[in-house]
Structure 1
Amino acid sequence: MSLKKIFAITFSLLILSINFAFAEENSTILTPYSSGYNKYTNNPYGYEIILLDALELKEDIVSVKSRFESENVVVDILYDNFENSLDNITTYINYGNKGILRNPDFVITREYNHNFNGTNSHITLFERRKVKSDVPDRNYYAMIAFPRHNKEVITVFIKSAHPIYIDYIMPSFKLTNKAGTMKEDVIFKPVQKKFDEKTSVFFDNYFINNEKIDFGIFEPTYPTYDYRLKQLEQMFDYEFPVVLLYNSFVLPFKTDYMNLAKEQGKVVEYGLYTTDFIDGREVDITLDIIEGKYDDYLDRLAQSFNEYDYPVLFRLNNEMNGEWVWYSAHLVGKDTDLFIECWRYIYNKFKEHGVDNLLFVWNPNEKSFPGYAYNHYLNYYPGDEYVNIVGLTSYNTGNYYIGETWRSFAESYDHFYYDYVKRFEHPMMITEFSGASLGGNKSAWFEDMFNRITQYDRIKLAVLWNGQDYDMTKPEKPVSRNYRIDQEQDVIDAVRTGLERLK
């Protein structure tokens, strides 16, 4: 072999070695591939994909998904690992599609297995009606699942304003060996807003410059029987500055209720769900809102908030990553962009009307159900401009239901509070929480909670939930989770002592 050939081989090996080291150091790489296409390599998750070069790469939450986007097309590449769960590739496909099938606004048009250039995949094509005419509406969908093995899958999720031709958008995909460490996600930061004077004072006093933690309350009879709240405040020797009320698009702005809360100096945590009752059943109206069908309702609501002239903690569509709410993307085409569009639509509608007394509270559930990457809570984040406060929700549910266990306050909150702290610079609040009676010592749970909650120094407000859940599967509808804090004397004593200490 000639020296020239040996040198060429040695040089090639050196280049390959450098490229491999470069690939490990750079966890994701985007390079030109051919005319009109780029190659994207994700080393930590182990795949390569060829995509149209007109698609712009976004890696804000690259630990969850890599996004490629143009005006007409979005491609999300998601990674799921089910090693420590009951899920596998079969449940992922079948259970995921059940969510689509439950929503009449979405139709599965084809489902089939396909060998994609030597890599097996399962493809689901589905679509919905168009709801926007002024901009491209990506209402055609393709979910392409590439299982590495039974417990690990890469999903390419395509959304397009036109019928999807997969081979044109992504002519090649292959699984590769995993290497390197995933790069960091962005840190989300609130945008400073100009609120009216009363709202600014409340925001500053309770969230920005608050060196302690304050507590609000949900009392199910308030304000219809407002004397119950007064009894609670006397019982606990504590004046709750915030009360929680629930609303949906079925209900108008309850002027009398809101005015009573204002007269009593209570700031309302105004929960609003994008649901309505149509033909005798509750339905999600995300698409209808985006389409403008509820503009009259939103206009009246904005006017009511303007006339109200008092601070409001506006909690829109909380626990959106839980399949028990109709507006969860699991039930709305697996498309979290629709949740975000709906959120921004409502936000901008209020902005058009000059509403300046709403503090927008974005509030996922502690865990995502189902726990698939397309339903990850970060996919629902509407953007820094649209969120003033990050809300947290977790309950010690007790053990009435199979699969639920008694958890301490730290077991309920540690696992996601410290994740939120790394990802968000927003002030935080616990929007609702409590401990159930069945499964452990309830008074000891509250004693421990009051001792530990001050360790979560980013949380400035926590709203106690004084209510009960019922088992609706049984004729007698027994209490399944008793979250009341005003029944057992030892619980009353524990709550009163804890509130007194943290005043």
Structure 2
Amino acid sequence: MRNGMIGKLVCLGLCLSLMLGMSSPVYGAESVTKDLYSLNEDGSYSLFTNYVDGYSLRVDQGMKVDMDYSGVVAVLENDSKRIEIYKESLPYNISQQAYINYSNRFINNRTDHTSEYDVQTRINGKTVHILQWSRDKLSRVKNDKNYYVSMEILNGSREVYTVLVKSDKPFYLEGGYQYLLDDFELFAPTKSSYIRQSQAVVPEERGWNQETEDFYYQYFGPASTLQWGIFEPDAPGDFTQMKYLESAMEYEFPILLNYSSFENKTQHPNLDARLKAAYENNKTLELTLQTPSSDSGNMVYDVLDGEYDEFLKDYAKKVSDFDHPVMFRLGNEMNGDWCPYSSYHTAKDTMIFKEFYKYIYNIFEEAGADNVIWVWNPNGKSFPDFKWNDALMYYPGDEYVDIVGLTAYNTGTYYPGEDWIEFDDLYDSLYAEYDRLFKQPMMITEFASSSVGGDKNKWIRNMFNHIGKYENIKVAIWWDGCDWDEDGNIARPYFIDETPDLLETFKEFLNQKPMFWDVFG
């Protein structure tokens, strides 16, 4: 009896250990994922089995498997086709139909996307939604895969398996795609997920000029202490308000956030003037470039079709000719559905953003821009918060990222459903996650607190009391502005000088000496 009980306890312990192990991803620098899947020949196809998410299906022969982000996606690819498979466990307030509808809203952009087939059916005993579409080939994307099908397989009432396929030719020329569904089978997962950690490029290998390398080590080196920057809407065009703020706080911000856009197809009207004005006022720009929204198609596609080459080459040359350090942030918050370069707008295809990012990076390289520090910056929370829109799906590769940016705001409670969120509640878990995922230094590229719904001054004091514990966050940028509602009213006042008390609080904390000042300063 006693031996039998011991055996049961050991068995229970092993089961609990296995379940607990599978609930926590394993993080590592190397791609060690072979035991997470199998890929075996099965007639004219191969049988792919994913032990992390618990499914198997037939795929084309000769495909390479990428499980580096196996907690998010399994990727299989050959020269002509790419397959991404996501397992989505939905929260209580999102139905399977809502997931399908929200995920496929991009198809409403009829300028860029041609819907070819849209049906909900039963295959292999399961309900499946199938959407097939295409777009024009993009001339700046090598071997562009512009024919798509997305298949959402429903399981129970709270799970959806999404199989997203891209091909460089129409599917009828490649045997269709139903074979992916015919033998799709589910089983209990047996392996923990693995997430590859990014690795920082050694600064001396970046090819920066000496001033830029020195700037990097000063602000982002291992011994760097937290520094502050600001977004002030008028600067660098007009420094009047900036000088007032700095005088009131008795603090000079070394970094200035500035936004730019694709103004036309030839050249930015005043980029060189902005860079010069910032430098003359002892500021280094966190220069941001975004594509604007449009009702007549998505500009990201136009960029990748070469329509903005002249503008981008001129932009990169002006930055290169400036020759002083520039922190360049391209397409920030790309995992937010408010950004036109989000895959929410580009067919759930995060490869479009990565091609966009790398294409512009290479234009800067060709311009000899050895003064550019590249900042990759997703939003702290994905909208929609589905795996195909996970921030990791937008990561372009270690060689393209010098700094990892974090962004999370306390938006206040102006709109229904919003909550007042303290700084540490916003950043504790976000920083812990990023610290596991990324080995580059970090910065908070923009953040602030509204005053609607709580005590903003108390929020700021709490922020200053917590931010120092995030050792790898080297720079933080306060966003001194506001969001407007559709009627033109201020909905989220993020102003740094909203009240005299706020200025006094910033003055107090910005001028405190670091803890080890007397030893090392």
Residue of structure 1 equivalent to 2:200: 190
Residue of structure 2 equivalent to 1:359: 373
Q: Which stretch of structure 1 is more off in the superposition, 287-296 or 126-135?
A: 126-135
Matches within 5 A, 1:178-257: 178-192=188-202, 193-250=206-263, 251-257=268-274
Residue of structure 2 equivalent to 1:15: none
Q: Which stretch of structure 1 is more off in the superposition, 166-175 or 259-268?
A: 166-175
State how far apart, in whole Å, the 1-side matches of 2:496 and 2:84 are.
Answer: 45
Residue of structure 2 equivalent to 1:96: 103
| Letter in structure 1 aligned against 2:210 | E
Residue of structure 2 equivalent to 1:380: 394
Q: How many residues align?
A: 474
| Residues 100-144 of structure 1, C-alpha deviations (whole Å, 9 max, x = no match) | 213621122111123333333111101101113884221010101
Matched, 1:115 2:122: yes
| Residues 249-304 of structure 1, C-alpha deviations (whole Å, 9 max, x = no match) | 11445222220111112100101003377xxx686321121221211111111210
TM-score for both structures, normalised by structure 1: 0.90
Matched, 1:52 2:60: yes
Residue of structure 2 equivalent to 1:404: 418
| Letter in structure 1 aligned against 2:47 | K
Residue of structure 1 equivalent to 2:478: 464
| Letter in structure 1 aligned against 2:287 | Y
Residue of structure 1 equivalent to 2:11: none
Matched, 1:261 2:268: no
Residue of structure 1 equivalent to 2:42: 34
- The gaps in structure 1 that reach 5 residues or longer are 1-20
| Letter in structure 2 aligned against 1:132 | S
Residue of structure 2 equivalent to 1:416: 430
State how far apart, in whole Å, the 1-side matches of 2:227 and 2:44 are.
Answer: 57
Matched, 1:105 2:105: no
Residue of structure 1 equivalent to 2:500: 489
Percent identical residues: 35
Matches within 5 A, 1:15-164: 28-84=36-92, 86-102=93-109, 104-132=111-139, 135-164=142-171
State how far apart, in whole Å, the 2-side matches of 1:133 and 1:447 are.
Answer: 48
Q: Do the aligned residues in 2 keep the contact of 1:253 with 1:301 (CA within 8 Å)?
A: no
State how far apart, in whole Å, the 2-side matches of 1:312 and 1:140 are.
Answer: 38
State how far apart, in whole Å, the 1-side matches of 2:440 and 2:140 are.
Answer: 35
Alpha-carbon spacing, 1:425–1:169, altered in 2? closer, same or farther (3 Å): farther
Matches within 5 A, 1:341-360: 341-360=355-374
Residue of structure 1 equivalent to 2:187: 177
Paired residue secondary structure (1:275)? coil
| Residues 342-367 of structure 1, C-alpha deviations (whole Å, 9 max, x = no match) | 10000011111211111110000011
Paired residue secondary structure (2:344)? helix
- The gaps in structure 2 that reach 5 residues or longer are 1-17, 23-32, 515-521
Alpha-carbon spacing, 1:257–1:135, altered in 2? closer, same or farther (3 Å): closer
Residue of structure 2 equivalent to 1:438: 452
Paired residue secondary structure (1:170)? helix
State how far apart, in whole Å, the 1-side matches of 2:336 and 2:140 are.
Answer: 30
Alpha-carbon spacing, 1:210–1:479, altered in 2? closer, same or farther (3 Å): farther
TM-score for both structures, normalised by structure 2: 0.87
- Offset, 1:171: 6.1
| Letter in structure 1 aligned against 2:313 | D
Give RMSD over aligned pairs.
Answer: 2.0
Q: Do the aligned residues in 2 keep the contact of 1:52 with 1:169 (CA within 8 Å)?
A: no
| Letter in structure 1 aligned against 2:238 | Y
Residue of structure 2 equivalent to 1:452: 466
Q: Do the aligned residues in 2 keep the contact of 1:217 with 1:243 (CA within 8 Å)?
A: yes
| Residues 415-444 of structure 1, C-alpha deviations (whole Å, 9 max, x = no match) | 221111101100100000111101111111
Matched, 1:314 2:328: yes
State how far apart, in whole Å, the 2-side matches of 1:111 and 1:283 are.
Answer: 21
Paired residue secondary structure (1:39)? strand
Q: Do the aligned residues in 1 keep the contact of 2:376 with 2:405 (CA within 8 Å)?
A: yes
